Structures are given as C-alpha cells and as structure tokens.
Chain A
Amino acid sequence: MRQIRSRALLALACALLLAACGGGGSDTSTRVHIASVKVMGDSLADSGTFGFKFTVQGAQSFIYPERVAANFGVGTLCPFYVYTGSTFTTNASCTNYAIGGGRINNVSAPASPVSIVQQLVNAGAVNRYSATDLLIIDGGGNDAADLVGAYLKVQSDSGASYAALLQTVLPAETVLAALAQGAAGFASIGGSYMTALADVFYDAIKTNALDKGAQHVVVLNMPGITNTPRFQAVLDAIAAANGGGTAGATARASAESLFKSWFVAFNNELAAKFNGNSNVVLVDFYQSFNDQIASPGQYSLTNVTTPACPPTGLGGDGLPTYDFPTCTDAALSAMTPPAGSDGTANWWKSYAFSDGFHPTPYAHDLLARRILKSLADAGWL
C-alpha cells in the first residue's frame, strides 16, 4: 500500500512538473496567407510620397496600413509614388500607391495619381492580383471636405463652386433642378452627390481590383470628418456667423447634421454595393471614429479635440496650419506637456489628432485594431 501511495504521489509530482514547463507565447500565423499588401488611398494611408507621413514623424510612427500589413507578416510599406516637387515619379518595387490629398473625385487633375481611382487603375495595370494579395483602400475624406467647402461658399459665390463640383459626378440637369429648389435642394443634392461618389468608388474597385483577381480587399468607409479639430473649427465659425448663442448653436447643429447625412449617404451606398461580397471586407471606420470621439477613455485617448502638433501659422481660411516634417516624436516629447495631458514626455501618445485633420500614430494603431477585428471576423487574420 505504501508503494501505491508513493506511486500516486509520483504521478502528482509529474503532473506538477508538467505545469512548470514554462511559457506559451503567441501563435502569429494568420488564417489567410498574405504575401503582399497593396494600398490605395489618401493621406491616412500614405507611407511617405512627400518624404513624410501625415502624422507625427518617428521611427515608431506606423500608419494603419503598415500595422495591418505587419500583422500578416508583411514588412514595412514604401511609397510607389515619389513627389519630386513638381510631379510624381514611381518606385516599382513599392506597393503603397496612396498619396496625401488623394480623392475619389480629383476634379483638378483626374489622371493624376492623386486620384484614388487613378491609383487603382495604375496598380491594376501592373498587377494581376492573386489570393495572397491584400488590398487596403481608403477614400472619401478629402472628397467630403471638398463638398463641405463648396457648400459653405454658397453665400459668397451664389453656389457656383458647389454646382460645378456636383456636376463633375451628377448630370447637370439633376444638379440645376435641385439647386432651383433653394435651401432644401442645396442640402439634399449633397447627399445625391455622395451616393454617386460611392458608386464611382465601387466601380473603380470592382473594375481595377476585383475583376483583376483580387480576393482579399479591405475597404474603409468614409470617416466623419466633422469630428476633426479642423471641421469643429469650421462648425464653430458657422455658429459665430449666425450670431452665436442659441441661434448660432442651432445653425451649427443643423450644418453638422447635414454634413453627417452626406457621409452616411456615401457609406450606406458603399455598404449596399459591397453587400454579400466575400472578397471584400468593408470596415466601418465612420462608426469606429465616432465611438472614439464619444468615449475617449474606452480607447485610452486623453484628448480628442486638440492637435498634438504645434500650429505653425494661420491659413488663408483662418484656420491654424501645421508642419508635419518638423512635428517629430522627439520634438513633442521635448515640449512642456500641455495642461490636461498626462504630464509625461509621452503626453502626445494618447492624443487622437496630430494636426487638425489627421490622426496621431496611436489613433492609427486604434484604426488598425478595428480593421484587424473585421479581418478576424472574416476569417482572414
């Protein structure tokens, strides 16, 4: 009996020994193997076409496509287009086609790679996509800014800019008929424009990516640009122009609600177009961005209203200007932390905005996490 007891004790000891066998780590394999990441879009996705990124500069300043690519084991992305000061040259060994200022409807130069549609065309011309390509595409933010800007000029130019922009996508008679209805028509035609713009975006992605073999396409819907400090200032100016107080607040709320309805029109159309397409993961950037602004603490953000980079001047529109090349991680950490921040040299790392319109590296990280969640949902990550 003694022997049996000691044998049992031995079994227990073995079991305990197994328990002491140490750590586990991480299984970093992904469910879909991705060998190459191709990116088309605007400043949010630009890896350095102009020699800098549209965020705080630094060795650890990864933008969201770089973080998504890294999670699939694809190393750093480099810009396909390189701006020379007057034109864009290309670097065929790079696969990030995104350019700061990128627009779906690049009215002034539709054939320039600043047009996201043109980026898709150019990338599609040199690539026959395969199952191991991951495409990451964003767009719409600058288009929304153009539309809002043209709409806000209506009082100064009698709607000329607005009508001209609308007619680049919508039939002239549709635009003129709407504008003839006055204020209500001016408001609603903006939504029609955004819906048509989503169709343009969808068609470009379908023709140049999906029809060319792309099976893993990530599309970000349009962020609510009215959440940005720049457009919050624009809305504040609307309030001031309407006399401030209650009247100003009403005008501000009404403008914000109108602009949001345009973003939603774009996003709803995009969702309808891609609905049921298993080759496309449409990421709800709009909702995610709204959530972060509404509940900063949930996302460990300490400031969602003030840009981290110091303003360098005042633009022609009366809004502050910023200089990304000089807004480095070292420069921000060397600054006296602003009141209300965490007071450490890392103060800017929990801010949402780098300048008035662009995210910090941490906000890029949060966006990447949201995208990766959608990719995990799709069974890709």
Chain B
Amino acid sequence: MRHDDKFVRTAAWLAALGALFGTAPAGAQSAGSVLLRAGVTHIKPNADSGDLSPPSLPGTKASARSDTQLGAGLTYMVTDHIAVDIPLATPFKHELDGDGAINGVGKIGEVKSLPITVMGQYRFFDANAPLRPYVGAGVTYAKFYKGQSTSALSGLTGGTPSNPTTISVESKFAATVEVGATYAVDEHWFVDATVAHTFLKTRATLSTGQTLDMKLDPDTFALAVGYKF
C-alpha cells in the first residue's frame, strides 16, 4: 500500500512538471521511434519470508539484500503514446541473511537474478513534449541462478564442508507495474527515470529437501541516459 501511495504522488508530481515544461520544443517520441538508454538499476527486495520447513528452529526465515547494476533499455513507440519497453541490466546478486529465529547468524547465501521484462507503456503529453511521464505494466520472468550457500546455512541444516547444504531459488513469472518519465534534453538525447514494483513470490529449496517460501515483491529504481533514433 505504501508503494502505491508513492506511485500516485510521483505521478502527480511528474504531471505538474509536465504542465510547466510541456510547451518547450524538443525531439518527438512519435510512432516508430526507437529509444535506447543506459544507466544504473537498483533492485530492492521487500522480502516477506515464510518459515523454513522442518527440521528447523520454529520461525527460521530469510531476508534479501538490495543490489545495483548497470541498466539499459530499449523502447519502441508503437503510436505517439503507446510504447513497448524492454529494460535490461547486468545480472543482480542478492545476498540472503538469516531472519526470524535465525536473525543474527548473518549471511546464509546469495543468488543471482536476471529479471527479463516486457512492459507496455502509456506516455502522456504530446510526442514533442520534452517531459513525458509514463505508466506501464508488464510481465517479468525473474530468472534465479547460481544460488550459493554459506557455512552458516550449511551448519544450521546438518551440512559439512565435504557435503555442504546448497540452495536454489525457483525462477518465476511475475507482474510488474511502473511509473516513470523521460526528459528530452535535445533532439536525440533524453534522461529516463523509472520506479517499478514487481509482484514476485518464489521458493528456495535446499539440498536437504527443505523449502522456504518467500514473497520478494522487489522495487526497481532505474536512472538512465537515452538516445532517440
């Protein structure tokens, strides 16, 4: 709910800015335009963990840390207002910490993630407006791979260095919504800022057969410089 409020406020703010700058001349994002961008992308999971299945201390949970990577993206304007957007980024690495009953054991593992997303966007204002706020919705395939456990996780689950407990996280499809804006600096160059929220639930499975369900619901913050062709 908190995030929804933030979205509404951001959108309203962007709309107000748009009204101020909406009349300045700039390059058009019109039907057929292709926009390429590159920058940084930060993913902040809002982990809400279930309990690790037995044998475990009751309430054994996990939390996930944020990560920042190089970001990029490709947008194709289908009409002057409707766009298809594919955000790209180098793979993220999320460190996992003990939580709940094992809050305090520190890092229990890490997993790499590669969110593959296709968004449909609606871009406000004229094709020529320098500031174009947009909203979008789409689908994300959250690819998780290279799960790596620590000695803490292994020790907590009966592993040893010669036979360590390992961890894998299920890759999942999830819905993503976003708000953002581009600001055209000149005919070709623009800056792009996006805040997205993904509704993502997944399950971590240990080599012991134990499972841990997690709602990750990450927020994504991306800032990029783009070029319109």
Question: What is the interface of chain A, defined by CB distance below 8 A to chain B?
Answer: 1, 4-5, 8, 11-12, 15-16, 18-31, 67, 70-71, 73, 291, 295, 297-301, 365-366, 368-370, 372-373, 375-377, 379, 381
Q: Who on chain A is nearest to B143 by CB? A: A19
Q: Jot down 14 A-B pairs with beta carbons below 8 A, ordered by A.
A: A5-B34, A8-B74, A12-B116, A15-B89, A16-B114, A24-B110, A26-B151, A28-B161, A71-B155, A71-B159, A291-B57, A298-B56, A373-B156, A376-B105
Q: Is B160 an interface residue (CB 8 A)?
A: yes
User: B121-150: contact bitstring with A at CB < 8 Å (1 yes, 0 no)?
Assistant: 000000000000000000000010111111
Task: Check if B102 sits within 8 Å of A15, measured CB to CB.
Answer: no
Task: Check if B34 sits within 8 Å of A369, measured CB to CB.
Answer: no
Looking at the assembled complex, report how far the CB atom of B192 sits from the nearest CB atom of chain A, in whole angstroms.
15
Looking at the assembled complex, report how far the CB atom of B220 sits from the nearest CB atom of chain A, in whole angstroms.
15
Task: Check if A376 sits within 8 Å of B155, measured CB to CB.
Answer: yes
Task: Tell me how many residues of B have a C-beta within 8 Å of chain A.
Answer: 48
Contacts of B105 in A (CB 8 A): 373, 376-377, 381
Q: Is B166 an interface residue (CB 8 A)?
A: yes
14 further contact pairs, Cβ within 8 A, besides A12-B86, A368-B158? A5-B34, A8-B86, A23-B166, A24-B110, A24-B147, A24-B149, A26-B164, A27-B150, A70-B160, A71-B160, A298-B55, A369-B55, A369-B156, A372-B155
Q: Who on chain A is nearest to B88 by CB? A: A11
Task: Check if B155 sits within 8 Å of A298, measured CB to CB.
Answer: no
Q: Who on chain A is nearest to B114 by CB? A: A19
Task: Check if B146 sits within 8 Å of A21, measured CB to CB.
Answer: yes
Looking at the assembled complex, report how far the CB atom of B57 sits from the nearest CB atom of chain A, in whole angstroms.
7
Complex CA gap A365/B158 in Å reads: 6
Complex CA gap A294/B113 in Å reads: 40
Task: Check if B161 sits within 8 Å of A24, measured CB to CB.
Answer: no
Task: Check if A8 sits within 8 Å of B36, measured CB to CB.
Answer: yes
Contacts of A365 in B (CB 8 A): 158
Task: Check if A25 sits within 8 Å of B148, measured CB to CB.
Answer: yes
Q: From DSSP, what is the main secondary structure of chain B's interface residues?
A: mixed
Question: Quick one: which of B11-45 are within 8 Å of A by CB?
Answer: 34, 36
Q: From DSSP, what is the main secondary structure of chain A's interface residues?
A: helix
Contacts of A27 in B (CB 8 A): 148-151
Contacts of B88 in A (CB 8 A): 8, 11-12, 15
Complex CA gap A18/B36 in Å reads: 22
Complex CA gap A21/B93 in Å reads: 14
User: B56-79: contact bitstring with A at CB < 8 Å (1 yes, 0 no)?
Assistant: 111000000000000010100000
Task: Check if A18 sits within 8 Å of B114, measured CB to CB.
Answer: yes
Task: Check if B146 sits within 8 Å of A299, measured CB to CB.
Answer: no
Contacts of B145 in A (CB 8 A): 19-22, 24
Q: Is B111 an interface residue (CB 8 A)?
A: yes
Given contacts A25-B166, A70-B160, A365-B158, whether A4 and B36 have CB atoms under 8 Å apart is yes
Task: Check if B146 sits within 8 Å of A369, measured CB to CB.
Answer: no
Task: Check if B114 sits within 8 Å of A15, measured CB to CB.
Answer: yes
Looking at the assembled complex, report how far the CB atom of A278 sits from the nearest CB atom of chain B, in whole angstroms.
15
Given contacts A19-B145, A373-B57, whether A24 and B166 have CB atoms under 8 Å apart is yes
Complex CA gap A134/B156 in Å reads: 18
Given contacts A24-B147, A70-B162, whether A375 and B155 have CB atoms under 8 Å apart is yes
Q: 4 closest pairs, A vs B, by CB?
A: A372-B155, A26-B164, A24-B148, A376-B105
Task: Check if B155 sits within 8 Å of A26, measured CB to CB.
Answer: no
Looking at the assembled complex, report how far the CB atom of B41 sits from the nearest CB atom of chain A, in whole angstroms.
12
Looking at the assembled complex, report how far the CB atom of A163 sits from the nearest CB atom of chain B, in whole angstroms.
42
Task: Check if A298 sits within 8 Å of B54, measured CB to CB.
Answer: yes
Complex CA gap A20/B145 in Å reads: 8
Complex CA gap A119/B160 in Å reads: 28
Q: Is B157 an interface residue (CB 8 A)?
A: yes
Given contacts A4-B34, A369-B158, whether A26 and B165 have CB atoms under 8 Å apart is yes
Task: Check if B34 sits within 8 Å of A70, measured CB to CB.
Answer: no
Q: Who on chain B is nearest to A288 by CB? A: B57
Contacts of A299 in B (CB 8 A): 54-56
Given contacts A29-B151, A377-B104, whether A24 and B55 have CB atoms under 8 Å apart is no
Looking at the assembled complex, report how far the CB atom of B154 sits from the nearest CB atom of chain A, in whole angstroms.
6
Q: Is B152 an interface residue (CB 8 A)?
A: yes
Complex CA gap A22/B74 in Å reads: 27
Task: Check if A71 sits within 8 Å of B91, measured CB to CB.
Answer: no
Contacts of A1 in B (CB 8 A): 34, 229
Looking at the assembled complex, report how far the CB atom of B10 sits from the nearest CB atom of chain A, in whole angstroms.
27
Contacts of A22 in B (CB 8 A): 145-146
Contacts of B154 in A (CB 8 A): 26, 28, 71
Q: Is B218 an interface residue (CB 8 A)?
A: no
Task: Check if A369 sits within 8 Å of B157, measured CB to CB.
Answer: yes
Looking at the assembled complex, report how far the CB atom of A250 sits from the nearest CB atom of chain B, in whole angstroms.
31
Q: Who on chain A is nearest to B91 by CB? A: A18
Task: Check if B148 sits within 8 Å of A298, measured CB to CB.
Answer: no
Task: Check if B104 sits within 8 Å of A28, measured CB to CB.
Answer: no
User: B78-106: contact bitstring with A at CB < 8 Å (1 yes, 0 no)?
Assistant: 00000000101111000000100010111
Task: Check if A379 sits within 8 Å of B106, measured CB to CB.
Answer: yes
Looking at the assembled complex, report how far the CB atom of A28 sits from the nearest CB atom of chain B, in whole angstroms.
4
Task: Check if A4 sits within 8 Å of B229, measured CB to CB.
Answer: yes
Task: Check if B54 sits within 8 Å of A300, measured CB to CB.
Answer: yes
